[in-house]
Structure 1
Amino acid sequence: MRYLDPKADLTFKKVFGEHPDLVISILNALLPFETEEEHIVEVEYLPIELVPETPFKKNSIVDVRCRDERGRIFIVEMQMLWSPAFMHRVLFNASKAYVRQLGSNEKYELLQPVYSLNLVNDVFMPDVEGYYHDYRIVHIEHSDKIIEGLRFIFVELPKFKPQTFSEKKMHVLWLRYLTEINEKTRIIPPELMESPEIRKAVEQIEESAFSDAQLEGYDKFWDGVRVEKTLISDALKKGHAEGRAEGRIEGERIKQLEIARNLKALGLDVASICQVTGLKPEETENL
């Protein structure tokens, strides 16, 4: 049996955008709900394209968007490569979903929270321990004071290391599903298949479940990811090279100024100092 990678656009939307029970399961497992009462029971899917109210504003598309029985809205995104622009897009989409809940004559009290779950197949906080990042609007000095309404969860998938602790069983199983299964997988670990939700999610990514056209689109997706990764890598290399060049130039200038300062201390005239160091007269006089 051959499986497709569940992180690809095609497979991710098939698993979590077509099966309410599976998106409920992963949301309950990965969102920071503190009590059982907060857990999602039912969801209805909402259009993934957030069309602007006027043609002059920006539209946007998310991977999965749904609403639960309480009216809370959930956005789920799978991002293959990190860029600072993604953080801005997440904030933009969640804010738009929050604002669009109300009509012009409705009361603000009717607004329900928007949760944004973002699974990132990249490391964007290398200097921070842990793979799970929970953002809320909090008071800087009194972090227990919170403005409710928007909550953002970012998961750095490459940092995740499987752990077994019963109180977060589905949390671990879903992240193992996303990080351990790909085209090279032939046998699914038994502990994953023991979960009905994970087993169903595995069945959705069997190669035989997709048409030839879909498989071609799947391959093109990964080609696009590889190209984008190369472009980002090249841009970083160019930036580092330019930074090193700028550093060398700045280093040479500091050396010139230090030499000029020493020569001036020895009583050498400005014209001679400029001839030796290449500095301008006004630069030498200001030392």
Structure 2
Amino acid sequence: MMRTLYTDNQIFIPIISDYGFKITFGNEGHTLFLRKALQAFIKSDIPIKEIQFDKNTFEGITQDGRSGIFDLACTDEAGNHFIVEMQYGEAPDFVQRMKFYALHKFNAMVKKGKFDYGLLTKIYCIAILANNILPYPQFHTLANLRNEQGELFDEQLTFITIELDKFTIQASDCQTDLEKLIYTMKTYSSYSIP
């Protein structure tokens, strides 16, 4: 079911709108919000000190290959790549789209000739979805490649899904930076000036 994003009495642009997302997360002049948000999304205690914005468009690898545009692409000071996508509408196959984006970035990191695969940095593919797509009850899902016993096999590619509809925590109960961020993203446009 598609929801209405804007109402006549709103005074702030929703962060989860296309424009709100790009202006909030993609502010190249002031990256503190983005750095803190990425740190919260990946649940890392290590601060991200610098962000370099990357080209957010890419060409297909083959003549018939699909091109694409990331909502946001950036790299931190350690060389870790972040792809962030905001999806307001229905997205039943979004996991496949996340894999497409992450694997395209992975392919672009591997160079011709003698190449040391041990030098590959991490890729975090982050999807912020207004609707639910996963069968899990939690609003934040972090996924890596695991074996049949559920043990970590590789963490070079990390897929993070935030499903806003599943987030029901009230402001007074928000404890972590992630909870505070998601609460703000969901409620910011409903604030009013007294």
Would you call these one fold, judging by a TM-score over 0.5? yes
Asked if residue 32 in structure 1 is aligned to residue 52 in structure 2, the reply is: no
How many Å separate the matches in 2 of 1:56 and 1:28?
A: 36
What RMSD, in angstroms, separates the aligned Cα atoms of the two structures?
A: 2.0
1:58 — aligned with what?
66
How many Å separate the matches in 2 of 1:53 and 1:95?
A: 11
Q: Secondary structure, in 3 states, of the residue corresponding to 1:181?
A: helix
1:154 equivalent among 149, 155, 161: 161
Query: 1:165 Cα shift?
Result: 5.5
Maintained 8 Å contact 1:44/1:66: yes
Could you tell me the percent identity over the aligned residues? 23
Asked if residue 118 in structure 1 is aligned to residue 124 in structure 2, the reply is: no
Query: 1:53 Cα shift?
Result: 4.3
Which amino acid in 2 is paired with 1:43? I
How many Å separate the matches in 2 of 1:83 and 1:48?
A: 20
Maintained 8 Å contact 1:41/1:68: yes
Query: 1:144 Cα shift?
Result: 2.5
Maintained 8 Å contact 1:98/1:112: no
Deviation >6 Å, runs of 4+: none
Richer in helix (by share): 1
Query: 1:54 Cα shift?
Result: 4.7
Asked if residue 180 in structure 1 is aligned to residue 177 in structure 2, the reply is: no
Residue by residue over 1:73-108, the C-alpha shift from the partner in whole angstroms, topping out at 9 and shown as x without a partner, is: 001111112333322111100111112112202321
The higher radius of gyration belongs to 1
Which amino acid in 2 is paired with 1:93? Y
Residue by residue over 1:22-63, the C-alpha shift from the partner in whole angstroms, topping out at 9 and shown as x without a partner, is: 111101112132xx34x3221100011122345432111111
Richer in strand (by share): 2
How many Å separate the matches in 2 of 1:136 and 1:187?
A: 43
Maintained 8 Å contact 1:113/1:150: yes
2:106 — aligned with what?
98
2:6 — aligned with what?
none
How many Å separate the matches in 1 of 2:64 and 2:174?
A: 50
1:74 equivalent among 82, 86, 90: 82
Change (3 A) 1:145 1:135: closer
How many Å separate the matches in 2 of 1:69 and 1:162?
A: 33
2:93 equivalent among 85, 93, 111: 85
Consecutive unaligned residues of structure 1, counting only runs of 5 or more, are 189-287
Which amino acid in 2 is paired with 1:162? I
Normalising by structure 2, we get a TM-score of 0.84
Asked if residue 21 in structure 1 is aligned to residue 32 in structure 2, the reply is: yes
How many Å separate the matches in 1 of 2:105 and 2:94?
A: 16
Q: Secondary structure, in 3 states, of the residue corresponding to 1:134?
A: strand
